[in-house]
Amino acid sequence: MLALQAAPGALKVMSGRAVYDCWSAGAAPRRIMIELQPLDIPLAVPLPWPMLERDGQLLVPKGDVIHSPEEVDLLFTLHRPHRRTDGAAQSAADFAHSQFPQTAFPDIDDAPEDERSIALERLGLRPGGVLTVRLTAGAGQSKGTARVIGYSPQRHLLITMPTEGGRPLMPVKDELLEIHSFSGEGIASFECSVMAVCRLPFEYVVLSSPRRIKSRSLRKSLRIRANVVGKMLISGEPPRMIHISDLSTTGASFRSAHRLEVSGAPARLRFRVKTRDYHSELVAAALIRSEKPAGDLPNVYQYGVEFLELAAAQKMLLQCFIYEQLLWSGQRMV
């Protein structure tokens, strides 16, 4: 059943799945956004359209691959994905995944194009992937973040303009950039030279092929230092504020001003995790495995907990948080 709402100069048509915004009689559609459902998402094949936030911001770029139902679950847990169905002008996000024409850039090597693409993806250089970028020109070295737009057939990278705290960092031609990415199995570090800084149809940077590549493998269960305030919920006791000092996908260590029940009864650990893309609260079932006085603070107790049956979406969010801390903050594993 459709509901029609009149508005000056426009007609809004709403159904259970879609919101259509159209100009009044005879005019071309302004925008059509359809809210997606989990079963709409194809698995293990490139997305046929860019997936958008409700406000039109890019969520998942066209051509990206979602590999598992767990990834879909996380996506729909944290977002309300939409797709555009009109013939609107090509946006920056759409342009980012257009097929680039042949350029005057020379080939880097004689490797087949598909092999070069695989090599780039193994470095975590998939469209939409997040990078840390350190500029080396000038008196001070600036560090910011950027996203991969794509790459040319000659293996030149195209990235968004690096930003730091919302402020664009402007690299210059021939400047050397130090870049870090997450490959899915480890952190890759490499260097690229700036070949061009472009401003139309949006700001982006063309980089040379990666060189001086280094890779650091990561353990399956990473533990990092943290400074996160949360709550411990134990049956029969009031919620207790805790201060998480290190964190992994299998457990955490924290301090509490209260001595907690350690009989082995299941408890719940509640805390918020903020990444560059997500800000969410996690509630994880846990068992207290260790207790000792916090040596540096009187009347404070140090606990170690093991997470029990952490949901796939929660585990993925924790992994994102941990990897970002390793990438952005230069942390070392505990």
Give DSSP secondary structure letters for 100-121. Answer: PPP-SPPPS-S--HHHHHHHHH
**99-217 falls under which CATH superfamily?**
Electron Transport, Fmn-binding Protein; Chain A (2.30.110.10)
CB 123 within 8 A of CB 213: yes
Residue 11: predicted pLDDT: 36
Residue 116: predicted pLDDT: 44
| Residue carrying the six token digits 């134990």 | 234
Which regions of the chain are under pLDDT 50? 1-30, 87-118, 333
Give the integer Cα–Cα distance in Å for 290 and 87.
60
List, edge to edge, every strand of the sheet that includes 18-23.
3-7, 10-14, 18-23, 29-35, 82-84, 51-52, 58-60
Residue 41: predicted pLDDT: 84
> What type of residue sits at position 120?
L
C-alpha separations of 310 from 181, 286, 306, 307, 313 in Å: 26, 9, 10, 6, 8
How many other C-beta atoms lie within 10 A of the C-beta of residue 281? 9
Q: What is the pLDDT of residues 56-88, one digit of tens each?
A: 666 666 876 676 676 677 667 766 888 988 544
Give the integer Cα–Cα distance in Å for 171 and 137.
8
Residue 61: predicted pLDDT: 62
Phi, psi angle pair for 143, to nearest 5° = -125, 130
Give me the torsion for CA of 49, 53, 59, 65, rounded to 10°: -40
Residue 219: predicted pLDDT: 56
Residue 194: predicted pLDDT: 92
How many other C-beta atoms lie within 10 A of the C-beta of residue 140? 6
**Residue extents of the structural domains in the chain:** 3-91, 99-217, 224-328
pTM of the model: 0.44
Q: Topology of domain 224-328, per CATH?
A: Thrombin, subunit H (2.40.10)
- Partners of residue 304 on adjacent β-strands: 253, 290
